[in-house]
Amino acid sequence: MFLVCGEALFDFFCEPHRYAQASRLGYEAVAGGSPFNVAVGLARLGVPSALLAGVSQDFLGQRLRAVLTGEGVSEHYLHDFDAPTTLAMVAVGANGTPQYSFRGQGCADRLLTLAHLPTLDDSVRGVHFGSFSLVVEPVGSTLLALARREHDQRLISLDPNVRLNPAPDIGLWRRRIGEFAGLAHLIKVSDEDLALLYPDQDASAIANQWLGERCQVVFVTRGAEGASVYSRQHGHLQVPAQAVQMADTVGAGDTFQAALLTWLHEQDLASAQGLESLGREQLLQLLHFATAAAALTCTQVGPDLPYRRQLP
């Protein structure tokens, strides 16, 4: 099982042309949040998963639980709070790239404290961290404590998934990502996130810095330009993106992350030792599998992650 840690929320996608009147806007609400999507993506790909998150007792929180139950994600690590559900207002640009505006201050997904940290047994093979839950409090410090406690026990993976709207202090992001990166064995990051975090450095410099610590592999997604992997043993490898009819890119990064962990799980390589043993051809197979999964998500509107039967 993979334990995914972080926010569960509802994305409200703007549909500006639903109504003719300028005074009215249409929205479609979709359950989401990057960690929520990764947990669902793993389950759809046939990998046991659970979500460690704070969930509201309100109507939207109940719907989030219902989605997790329906997808087969374990609710064992969820904690209920008498606080609202975070809302992410999403507008999708002409190129399919989403723009987010969050309503999350004081919401349930931010309220995890050290008292909520679970004891993990050997059924949990890996723990994944990502998105703005890393930097908002108290959940950010809580998850960092979990990563520090578990990094010698099981695989730690990280996807920064930078969202400046809920946490606009880029210096805070750099410090916290640096702390998590020092504990992670696998890091996946988009080129957009790297440009925000380290605008004066290229991807290879950052990847090599991370590889100098515990990290064995760094994956960089580049949108229409494909994806790369940097590894200690095999340097830099890259594969092109798959050509698809684009709907939007919402959830593509989360799909890529879930696919990485799925491939490692299927090959019985989901450990620090497994990552260290990866050969060049295996890394290329892993990249192709993850890019194929992400491409499928790009053909759908919103974070509609693929099922294992849809992939080779």
pLDDT at 92: 67
**pTM of the predicted protein model:** 0.94
The mean per-residue pLDDT over the stretch 172-194 comes to 97
Quick: pLDDT tens for 192-223. Answer: 999 999 999 999 999 999 999 899 999 999 98
Tally helices (H) and strands (E) across the chain.
9, 13
Bridge partner list, 156: 127
Q: How far is CA 15 from CA 29, 48, 98, in A?
A: 11, 34, 13
**pLDDT of residue 179 exceeding 60:** yes
User: Rounded distance, CA 85 to CA 273, Å?
Assistant: 39
Distance CA 101, CA 241 (A): 28
Across all residues in the chain, what is the average pLDDT? 93
3-state secondary structure labels for all residues of 93-140: CCCCCEEEEEECCCCHHHCCCHHHCCCCCCCCCEEEEEHHHHCCCCHH
282 or 96, greater pLDDT: 282
pLDDT per residue over 92-136, tens digit each?
Answer: 655 556 677 889 999 999 999 999 999 999 999 999 999 999 999
% of the chain surpassing 70 pLDDT = 95
Q: Give the pLDDT of residue 102.
A: 86
- Confidence at residue 88, expressed as pLDDT on a 0 to 100 scale: 87
**What's the rounded Cα separation, in Å, for the pair 290 and 227?**
9
Q: How many degrees, rounded to 5, is the angle at CA 103 between CA 98 and CA 106? A: 140
Per-residue pLDDT at 16 = 65
What is the pLDDT, as a whole number, of residue 23?
73
Q: What is the pLDDT of residue 98?
A: 67
Residue 66 in this model has a pLDDT that exceeds 80: yes
For the chain, the C-alpha Rg in angstroms (whole number) is 18
The pLDDT tens digits for 146-161 are 999 999 999 999 999 9
- 2-310: CATH topology is UDP-N-acetylmuramoyl-L-alanine:D-glutamate ligase (3.40.1190)
Domain boundaries, the chain: 2-310
